[in-house]
Amino acid sequence: MRVGVLTGGGDCPGLNAVIRAVVRKGIEVHGWEIVGFRSGWKGPLTGESRPLVLGDVEEILTRGGTILGSSRTNPYKVDGGVDRIRSVLAEQGVDALIAIGGEDTLGVARRLTDDGIGVVGVPKTIDNDLAATDYTFGFDTAVHIATEAIDRLRTTAESHHRALVVEVMGRHAGWIALHSGLAGGANVILVPERPFSVDKVVEWVERRFERMYAPIIVVAEGALPEGGAEVLQSGEKDAFGHVRLGGVGTWLADEISARTGKESRAVVLGHTQRGGTPTAYDRVLATRFGLHAVDAVHDGDFGVMVALRGTEIVRVKLAEATAELKTVPMERYEEAQVFFG
């Protein structure tokens, strides 16, 4: 059997750990040949691939990024895209695919399964916003990076008695903001799920200043002020219809300065959150996902995604996993509000 593997969408620490597990178990346990497709769905569209042997996955467990490259290619936006994938797989003798990705990559995987191509999905995203799994790998690493940044920013903020606004990733879901904000002891956490009142933020900031502390505000890139709109870096849409967000942190820091008369600075963590070596938790989760994806292919169980439920890895329908995003429930956000101000 020949099995293809690809990584799509934004990269994320732990992708190489999944690839390694797929190659090791696929070859050593089942005697398969593994084919690595380059740059997400672009690989099966163009035929850009290479065989992956045991030597290719030595020493990649700890490495960030993806040895296969990634892209946001959408085959359903390419004329005859699905037929091209079908013929590339036939030409290369690939019987099944393991697609590692977030909502967009796995949305394509679901549609391809409906179109008769055997795909098993593996959930990745630092945003942790995929439904049907308790956690995605990459999230723990991103939260660690953001928390470390908050810890560092706190000491400099206190030295200068400034407000520091830390902008983290999260287009539609505020999981990184919530977890890093809680772990870093932020004085305000703002998430896309709950439009915020600038007056209220200013009140919390002032309260913090009164107690001679420097306020730390963690804001997700997709958070928006009440009655306002998301702050965009570019209105241009990618192949999945997403605009580029970014800038809410700077906007908010300026508002805070203007309304409080106190110095305020913004720091955008950006792609730092996606780079570098995965945490031990993410390495283990990614490895287990890879091993279980191989089992699903071996069982001929296509159209499923491997998922974490409690401590167990289970299989869920891709349709269920991609039906809606997993956003932060209001009761979880309200838990954190105890620490605001």
Which of the ranges 76-84, 125-133, 247-255, 297-305 carries the binding residues for ligand F6P, by CB under 6 A?
125-133
10 or 215, CB closer to ligand F6P? 10
Q: Does 125 bind ligand F6P (CB under 6 A)?
A: yes
Do 165 and 252 meet the contact criterion of CB atoms below 8 Å apart?
yes
77 or 200, CB closer to ligand F6P? 77
Asked whether residue 126 is marked as a ligand-binding residue, the answer is yes
Do 124 and 32 meet the contact criterion of CB atoms below 8 Å apart?
no
Both tokens assigned to 222: 């997709």
21 or 126, CB closer to ligand F6P? 126
Q: Which residue has the tokens 């002032």?
A: 206
Least spacing, CB of residue 254 vs ligand F6P, in Å: 22
Q: Does 171 bind ligand F6P (CB under 6 A)?
A: yes
Asked whether residue 277 is marked as a ligand-binding residue, the answer is no
Q: Which residue has the tokens 């690809």?
A: 6
**Spatial CA neighbour of 171 closest among 282, 292, 72, 283:** 72
Least spacing, CB of residue 192 vs ligand F6P, in Å: 10
Cα-Cα-Cα-Cα dihedral sign, residues 26, 28, 32, 35: positive
Asked whether residue 30 is marked as a ligand-binding residue, the answer is no
H helices of the chain, where? Answer: 15-28, 42-46, 81-91, 103-114, 139-160, 175-183, 198-210, 248-260, 280-298, 318-321, 330-337
Amino acid code (one letter) for 233 = Q
Q: Does 276 bind ligand F6P (CB under 6 A)?
A: no
Helix (H, G, I), strand (E, B) or coil at 310: coil
Q: Which residues are catalytic?
A: 127
Least spacing, CB of residue 90 vs ligand F6P, in Å: 32
Q: Does 169 bind ligand F6P (CB under 6 A)?
A: yes
Q: Does 107 bind ligand F6P (CB under 6 A)?
A: no
Rounded to whole angstroms, the Cα distance separating 78 from 84 reads 10
**Closest-approach residue to ligand F6P (CB):** 10
Least spacing, CB of residue 127 vs ligand F6P, in Å: 5
Residues 5-44 binding ligand F6P (CB under 6 A) are 10
**Binding site residues, ligand F6P, CB under 6 A:** 10, 125-127, 169-171, 221, 245
